[in-house]
Amino acid sequence: MKLGVINNSRKNFYPGKALGCFAAGNRELWEYVDHNENFCFREVDFINDPQVIAFRGGK
């Protein structure tokens, strides 16, 4: 994402956002993710919900 190779623009669900429930890494990762609008962190039960994972949506 930092290099612009991945931008999540073709997603139907939360387009432009990387979804997750946690991030593990070093200070550089935390500084990149902190207040970065390209990331959306939600509860683990939401992220792992089969209906959320299978969402196809419409354009």
Closest to 38 (Cα-Cα) out of 24, 2, 58: 2
Confidence label for 58 from pLDDT (cuts 50, 70 and 90): low
pLDDT at 40: 95
Compute the CA torsion angle 8, 13, 19, 21 (nearest 10 deg): -170
pLDDT in tens, 4-55: 899 999 988 899 999 999 999 999 999 999 999 999 999 999 999 998 888 8
> What domain range is 48 assigned to?
1-59
Number of domain units in the chain: 1
Answer yes or no: are the C-beta atoms of 36 and 20 closer than 8 Å. Answer: no
